[in-house]
Each structure stands twice: as C-alpha cells, then as structure tokens.
Amino acid sequence: MTPTRLCIVARPMSRLWTTRTMLLTATLVVAVTSLGSVGCTELDGRNGNRQGNRLFREMQFIDAAGEYEKALTLVEDPIIHYNAGLAYSKIAKGADKVVLLGEQSDDVCARIPGVKPVDSRVCVKAGDRRYNACDDKDVCASSYTCKQTKLCALESGAIAELATDHFQKWLKSNPKDDDTRKQMTQVWIDASKFDLAIKYWEEQLAAKPNDAEVMGNLAGINLKAGDWRKSIEWYTKVAEVATDPGNKVGAYQFIGNVAWSKLNSKSLSPQDSVELADLGIGALQKAAELAPKNPKLFGLQASILNFRSLVHGASWAAAIDRASAQDLQKASRVIAEEAKKLQGTDPSTPAPGAPAPDAGKPASPPMSGGPAEKAGG
C-alpha cells in the first residue's frame, strides 16, 4: 500500500487512553489523512510558484515556466497563470523562429506543453539554456562542449500562444487588469500575431462601443501590422468620439504622425504617398482649427507638404506645396516665438523634414515587470 503523506501539526495528547478514545482518534486520523493530502498538494503547488519566481528573478525564464506549469498541475491559481504568462512572454520576446528549451532528459521538456523533439549538434554547458550551434570544426566557446544531443523545442509563435493563454486565464479572474491586457497585446505584436490582437480588441470594442482607448489600441495595432489606412480610420473615429478638445486634437495629430512616419520611410508608391499626405494634412488642419496656437501642428503640415512636393516632381503642384510649406513653417516659428514671450520657454517646433513626434502605437506598457507584482501563495 502506498504510504500516505500527512500535513498536520503535532499536538501533545493526554496519556490516558481508553478504548473509546483510541477508536475516535483512529477516525480522526483517517479524516485528516484525506484533507491533509489535498492540503499538501496545494502547498506543493504554491512552493512551486515561489520556486518559479526565484528562477524568474534570476532571468532563467525557461526553467521558471517549467516550475509554473508543474505548480498548475497541483493547484489552479490565477496568480500562477499570470506568472507563467510573463515567463513565456520573456522567452518569446526577440526569440528565433524555433526556441531550443532543453535536453530531452531535462524537466522542462516534460513540463512545458507542446514541445517537439529536435536532434542537433550544439554547444552545451550545465545550467545554461543557450544552445548555439557548434562551428565547422565542432568548437564552442570556452566552458561549452560541442555535443550531438536530443533537445526539445517550440516555435516562438507557439510560445507566444502559451503566454497569451495564461494571461487570459488570469484576466478571467481579474477583468479590470488593463496592464496585463496590454502586456498580452504586446506579446501578439512581438510575435507578429496581429490578427489575434485585432480580433481581441474588436471583441473588447463590441463590449464597450465607442471606447476611445480601445479604438486607439486598434489604430496602433493596425499601424504595426502595416495597414496605415485602417490605422487612420480608427484614429479618425477616436477624434470623432472625443468630447475633450485636447483629446480630439491629439487624435488628429496622431494621423499627422502616421503620415509623416510612413512618408519618411519612402516605402510607398507615388499614388499612396499622395493619398497619405492628403489624409495627414487634412487631419492636421482640423487640429489647427481647434488649437491655432500649437506650433507643432503647422510645422508638421509643412513637413508633409515637402514630402508631397517630392512626389509631384517638377510641376506646378510641387511648387505650390513648397510655397505652402514655407508659409506654414513661418507661421510655426511666429507662434513659437509668441509662446516663448508669454511663457518664457521655447516650445519644440518641428521644422520641415525634422523628426515628427512618435507615431501612434498601442498603449502597451514595457514588459519589464516580474512575477512579484502579482505573486502570491
């Protein structure tokens, strides 16, 4: 018979034992055995979570993920799901297409789901999970050994899916945790899973119609995905639903930033460049009507007009664009000087061709947090 493990606290007992006392005590031990085994399992799970947190802080993210996965087989806890999601997000960020996780005999290969076997000749070092290929002469860096070995691996996209699955389980219990929602979105973006990110935020918008922040996230994700038209469409909707003039101006300026950034990349066709420039200038003109003392709006228009003049080439349209850009640049300087006199400061004024403010992107915080932020147990 398998021995039973008890998680109980010893207490001093009376030395006066009767037959009835012994029978009652035996019944109690059976009950405690049943409850104690459950308590021990949960305790082991929480100890595994703490072990994972220690490994995470030591930046051993693969081993940390393995500990969290093991802990989740013992106790179902949203906090452990969050920690696992964070560990997987660290593994996926900047990873190669296929991530080598460990040798087949390592615990992580049994604990992390979905791994695939890989037979490879790599540089191996005890306690190190950087499995770089051996060079042509089977030579590795000092302290590493070239070895033909069986490894377990996962594609970076699959690791990203593990991260987001765990984050979503945390969010089911903590639906108001917007920071984790944005972290999850960043995982999708880093893995180029833009369709999943867009689908998720469209579902959020369906639950919160006309939510400016959600639409702003959709604008940024579409821009990251390379669909500037859809991005501008969303930023336009943000401007339309904004009730605060400052927020409305900000949304229109984001459109100008998108236009400047894409035109500056010189990656568009002439037809697309003109279309994008027109959209950017139109949005900035609306913003300038609301904030006529903002020099950046005029300077940014001048920059976009100069880009458009290059597309027009040697034509009257190009000459008109250049002249208009000069007028806007002058207006920007005058407004900036007036502001300087009134405030005693010199506000930043982008000149034509100068870098524009950062183009719109999803409001995702840097994924630099650790499991200690939500660690429990």
- Can you tell me the mean pLDDT for 206-218? 95
234 is a domain residue: yes
240 is a domain residue: yes
Q: Tell me what pLDDT residue 23 has.
A: 32
pLDDT digits (tens, 9 = 90+) for 319-337: 999 999 999 999 999 999 9
pLDDT at 85 over 90: yes
81 is a domain residue: no
129 is a domain residue: no
Q: Annotate the chain with three-state secondary structure.
A: CCCCCCCCCCCCCCCCCCHHHHHHHHHHHHHHHHHHHHHHHHHHHHHHHHHHHHHHHCCCHHHHHHHHHHHHHHCCCHHHHHHHHHHHHHHHCCCCCEEEEEECCCHHHHHCCCCEEEEEEEEEECCECCCCECCCCCCCCCCCEEEEEEEEEEEHHHHHHHHHHHHHHHHHHCCCCHHHHHHHHHHHHHCCCHHHHHHHHHHHHHHCCCCHHHHHHHHHHHHHCCCHHHHHHHHHHHHHHCCCHHHHHHHHHHHHHHHHHHHHHCCCCHHHHHHHHHHHHHHHHHHHHHCCCCHHHHHHHHHHHHHHHHHHCCCHHHHHHHHHHHHHHHHHHHHHHHHHHHHCCCCCCCCCCCCCCCCCCCCCCCCCCCHHHCCCC
Q: Give me the domain span that covers residue 259.
A: 204-343
pLDDT digits (tens, 9 = 90+) for 162-205: 999 999 999 999 999 999 999 999 999 999 999 999 999 999 99
Q: Tell me what pLDDT residue 21 has.
A: 39
Find the CATH number of the domain harbouring 222. 1.25.40.10
265 is a domain residue: yes
The total domain count for the chain is: 1
Q: Tell me what pLDDT residue 96 has.
A: 77
Q: Which residues contact 301 (CB under 8 A, 6 or more apart)?
A: 256, 281, 284, 285, 288, 325, 328
Q: Tell me what pLDDT residue 142 has.
A: 86
Task: Quickly state the pLDDT bin for 5 (edges 50, 70, 90).
Answer: low
146 is a domain residue: no
- Can you tell me the mean pLDDT for 19-35? 35
262 is a domain residue: yes
Angle at 251 between CA 198 and CA 218, to 5 degrees: 0
**Of all residues in the chain, what percent carry a pLDDT higher than 90?**
70
- Can you tell me the mean pLDDT for 335-351? 67
For the chain, the average pLDDT equals 84
Q: Tell me what pLDDT residue 344 has.
A: 60
89 is a domain residue: no
pLDDT: which is higher, 372 or 115: 115
Torsions phi, psi for 372 (to 5 deg): -60, -20
pLDDT at 345 over 90: no
pLDDT at 224 over 80: yes
pLDDT: which is higher, 308 or 377: 308
Q: Tell me what pLDDT residue 9 has.
A: 40
pLDDT at 91 over 90: yes
Task: Quickly state the pLDDT bin for 4 (edges 50, 70, 90).
Answer: low
pLDDT digits (tens, 9 = 90+) for 100-142: 999 999 999 999 999 999 999 999 998 899 899 999 888 998 8
CA distance 127 to 141: 15
For the purposes of burial, counting CB atoms within 10 Å of the CB of 209, is it exposed (0-12), middle (13-18) or buried (19 or more)? exposed
